[in-house]
Amino acid sequence: MNYITEIQKLKKEKNAVVLAHCYQNIEIDNIADYVGDSLYLSQMAAKTNADIILFAGVYFMAQTAKILCPDKKVLLPDIKAGCAMADMINLSQLREFKQKHNGIPAVCYINSTAEVKSECDICCTSSNAVEIVDSLNSEKVLFLPDKNLGRWVEKQLGDVEVITYDGCCPIHHNITVEDVVQIRKENPGIKLLAHPECKEEVTSLADFTGSTTGIMNFVKNSSDKKFIIATEKGVTDRLKRDYPQKEFIIIKDNLICESMKLNTLHDIYNSLKNETYEIKVDKDISQKALNCIERMLNASKTGAAK
């Protein structure tokens, strides 16, 4: 069976749209309507007129799309596609964190559950985190679950104390200073582009730090011919496809989010055909989480192009 042709047929038949994160298996781009980072995809989910949204990504992304579009059917091709970072904080852990730092506004990374979003003041993604924290005009903010992104935001702003929860992305957190030193030794003078989910000691050595789309835009606007990439492999795969005349070196092997890679064309075909797995969110939690996400969308001027 030619899955690409069959998926295109099903999309038309069912008025479905496919949103794909740029960490997905690259062949998924052949059937995706929008490919990009978390901010761009949430903006596209909020705008779509489709009846069905199929999210080629992980659970919190599909859940966010459902919160933004409660009347639409939202599908996740593989229900096991979770996010290790989002799972690092649950509602009782959030309540404990907030209680310990009473009265300080709480910013949650979009990589969090609906329950956690429902009790935070505002949401952010990696591309607008600095802008969102700044928009609060507060001397102190709580930031969760990603301590690395929180530290990076604090460094960019300079005048805000960012109190971070002890969570991280295991894939990005695994990149070390030794990795940077080694790759730089092998590739002297080549720019290092890193995601802000990397440790502070890694981002402080990078030539550019930004979201997945930010990294891709940096390459687009640069005349350099070679780059070192410090984020999940999906970004390097797409850069190699889009800029065959340039060279991209991934900072280390196995920078792979296994959860992101669970979705395949076969799963997407089954998902559209059988309308599985449908994402549902409790009405009350959904409304509160929507307020948190909408505050971000309204505060963020940051656009993320495909």
Query: Is 228 a residue that touches ligand 13P (CB under 6 A)?
Result: no
Nearer to ligand 13P, 38 or 300 (CB): 38
Q: What is the nearest approach in angstroms of ligand SF4 to the Cβ of residue 254?
A: 13
Judged by CB under 6 A, the chain residues 205 through 244 that form the site for ligand SF4 are 232
Residue 277, preceding peptide bond in cis (omega within 30° of 0):
yes
Query: Is 203 a residue that touches ligand 13P (CB under 6 A)?
Result: no
Q: What is the DSSP string of 10-26?
A: HHHHHTEEEEEETTS-G
- Print the binding letters for residues 241-280 with ligand SF4: x by CB under 6 A, - otherwise: ----------------x-xx--------------------
Phi/psi at 248 (5° precision): -125, 130
Query: Is 48 a residue that touches ligand 13P (CB under 6 A)?
Result: no
Query: Is 38 a residue that touches ligand 13P (CB under 6 A)?
Result: yes
Q: What is the nearest approach in angstroms of ligand SF4 to the Cβ of residue 38?
A: 8
Structure tokens at 84: 């290790």
Query: Is 202 a residue that touches ligand SF4 (CB under 6 A)?
Result: no
Residue 118 · residue 290 · CB < 8 Å: no
Could you give the CA distance from residue 40 to residue 297 in angstroms, rounded to a whole number?
10
Q: What is the DSSP string of 204-254?
A: TT-SEE--HHHHHHHHHT---SEEEEES-HHHHHHHHHH-TTSEEEESSTT
The distance of Cα 218 from the centroid of its chain, to the nearest Å, equals 17
Among 63, 125, 148, 236, binds ligand 13P (CB under 6 A): 125
Among 113, 126, 209, 236, binds ligand 13P (CB under 6 A): 126
Q: Which residues bind ligand SF4 (CB under 6 A)?
A: 23, 58, 83-85, 111, 169, 171, 232, 257, 259-260
